[in-house]
């Protein structure tokens, strides 16, 4: 019987990142009644970006809760609920607004298990769109990967495609620790093929494990979130010139899977990191530091290079914004510079 069902594979379906997150949350809400979602416009409006569409209709007021516009307040309420044994998903409409509540994320959620000597876990998920969108200007475009990745006690994940999104949100909800899920607004509407594994209600993407999206031999290109797609585009272009890039999708910012990156650098001898956030004290900076500290350093044939956002508050005018976020051409340029081509 089991053998027969194993042979029957459902066809690959196209699922957008938005639908994937929705599915993941829906499945976890169904699986565990302690899970609930709160945030601005998540219930009756179906979500500001429609990520929670249909959930309030299905689960009602007690599980899907509209909050007033009070991030510090509702994040605090969510942390308290987690401490008391519930499993909240706290949505920030964008992570820019999480700065209003950051004390709750860091001091009330991240540090508590440690401070209590292992007595008080905080099984909470903070999720929402992170980083640049299109034309939303300085206060709405910041990437928080480095800020949250800096803190012990937090886990931080950054999905790129639909499988990442579904698998990581499910793992985050099941994790007993505070997990920050950095989604991307521009990726919400992008469809990807869902494997049959991903269609399962127990599909999980483990936190702390990177994925090699494309094998290559000449250079390691590491990224997270939307730029992973740009890296794959760059790799396709460069492949025509005989340069084979190994593209790594970090999936998790903290705890970082440096081993996968190291193994790749040992193979390719060259490294480029790509992120949307600012350069100083960023994700790429951390990767470079760790490579220096580990066995892969001796295998580098050239210094590692970082491709990042420009070191300015995000400008509004299109020409300035386009030059403030990493483009495919910037990635190609950095790769060629590293390879001395």
Partner 1 sequence: MKKMLAAAVSRVLGGGAQKPASRVLVASCNYSNDATFEIKKCDLHRLEEGPPVTAVLTREDGLQYYRMMQTVRRMELKADQLYKQKFIRGFCHLCDGQEACYVGLKAGANPSDHAITAYRAHGLCYAYGLSVQSILAELTGRRGGCAKGKGGSMHMYGRNFYGGNGIVGAQGQIFEAYNMAALWKLPCIFICENNRYGMGTAIERASASTDYYKRVNFIPGLRVDGMDVLCVREATKFAADYCRSGKGPIVMELQTYRYHGHSMSDPGISYRTREEIQNIRSKSDPIMLLKDKMLNNKLSSIEELKEIDVGVRKEIDDAAQFATTDPEPPLEELGHHVYNNNLPFEVRGTNQWIKFKSIS
Nearer to partner 1, 104 or 161 (CB): 104
Query: Where does this chain bind partner 1 (CB under 8 A)?
Result: 40-41, 44-45, 48, 66-73, 96-97, 99-101, 133-140, 279, 305-313, 315-320, 323-327, 330, 333-334, 337
CB 243 to partner 1: min, Å: 17
Alpha helices (H) along the chain: 2-7, 17-31, 55-59, 71-83, 102-103, 112-115, 145-149, 162-174, 227-239, 258-268, 283-293, 318-322, 328-338
Confirm whether 71 is a catalytic residue. yes
Q: Is 140 a catalytic residue?
A: yes
Smaller CB separation from partner 1, 67 or 223: 67
CA distances from 103 to 106, 111, 112, 274 (A): 5, 11, 12, 29
Q: Is 120 left (phi over 0), alpha (psi -120 to 50) or beta?
A: beta
Cβ atoms of residues 248 and 277 within 8 Å: no
Strand pairing partners for 271?
220
Q: How many beta carbons lie within 10 A of that of residue 33, not counting itself? A: 12
Q: Quick one: the chain helix, strand, coil %, rounded to 5?
A: 40, 15, 40
Q: Which is nearer to partner 1, 138 or 289 (CB)?
A: 138
Q: How far is the CB of 10 from partner 1 (least distance, A)?
A: 34
Query: Residues 14, 42: contact at Cβ < 8 Å?
Result: no
Q: Shortest approach of partner 1 to residue 179 CB, angstroms?
A: 22
CB 124 within 8 A of CB 90: yes
- Both structure tokens of 218: 């000449």
| 99/195 Cα distance (integer angstroms) | 36
Q: How far apart are CA 181 and CA 165, in angstroms?
A: 9
CB of 40 to partner 1, least distance (A): 7
Q: Which residues partner with 272 through β-bridges?
A: 221, 305
d(CA 64, CA 88) in angstroms, rounded, equals 10
Catalytic residue among 13, 41, 140, 233: 140
Backbone angles phi, psi at 295, to 5 degrees: -65, -20
* Closest CA relative to residue 211, chosen from 252, 172, 173: 252
Active-site residue, from 71, 91, 183, 262: 71
Least CB distance from residue 182 to partner 1, whole Å? 18
Query: Catalytic positions, please?
Result: 71, 140
């Amino acid at each position: 019987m089991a053998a027969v069902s194993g042979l029957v594979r459902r066809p690959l379906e196209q699922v957008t990142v938005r639908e994937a997150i929705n599915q993941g949350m829906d499945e976890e809400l169904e699986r565990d009644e302690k899970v609930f979602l709160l945030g601005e416009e998540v219930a009756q409006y179906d979500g500001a970006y429609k990520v929670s569409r249909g959930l309030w209709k299905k689960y009602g007021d007690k599980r899907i809760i509209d909050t007033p516009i009070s991030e510090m307040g509702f994040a605090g309420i969510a942390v308290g609920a987690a401490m008391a044994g519930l499993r909240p998903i706290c949505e920030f409409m964008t992570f820019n607004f999480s700065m209003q509540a950051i004390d709750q994320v860091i001091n009330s959620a991240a540090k508590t298990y440690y401070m209590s000597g292992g007595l008080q876990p905080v099984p909470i998920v903070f999720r929402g769109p992170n980083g640049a969108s299109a034309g939303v200007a300085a206060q709405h475009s910041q990437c928080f990967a480095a800020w949250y990745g800096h803190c012990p006690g937090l886990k931080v994940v950054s999905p790129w495609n639909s499988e990442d999104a579904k698998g990581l949100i499910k793992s985050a909800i099941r994790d007993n620790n505070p997990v920050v899920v950095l989604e991307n607004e521009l990726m919400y509407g992008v469809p990807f093929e869902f494997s049959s594994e991903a269609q399962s209600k127990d599909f999980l993407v483990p936190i702390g494990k990177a994925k090699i999206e494309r094998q290559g031999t000449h250079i390691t290109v590491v990224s997270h979130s939307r730029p992973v797609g740009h890296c794959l585009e760059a790799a396709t272009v460069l492949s025509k010139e005989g340069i084979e890039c190994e593209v790594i999708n970090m999936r998790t910012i903290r705890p970082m899977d440096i081993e996968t990156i190291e193994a790749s650098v040992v193979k390719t001898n060259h490294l480029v990191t790509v992120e949307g956030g600012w350069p100083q004290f960023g994700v790429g900076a951390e990767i470079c530091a760790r490579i220096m500290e580990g066995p892969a350093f001796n295998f580098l044939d050239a210094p590692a290079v970082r491709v990042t956002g420009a070191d300015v508050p995000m400008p509004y005018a299109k020409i300035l914004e386009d030059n403030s976020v990493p483009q495919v051409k910037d990635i190609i340029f950095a790769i060629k510079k590293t390879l001395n081509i």
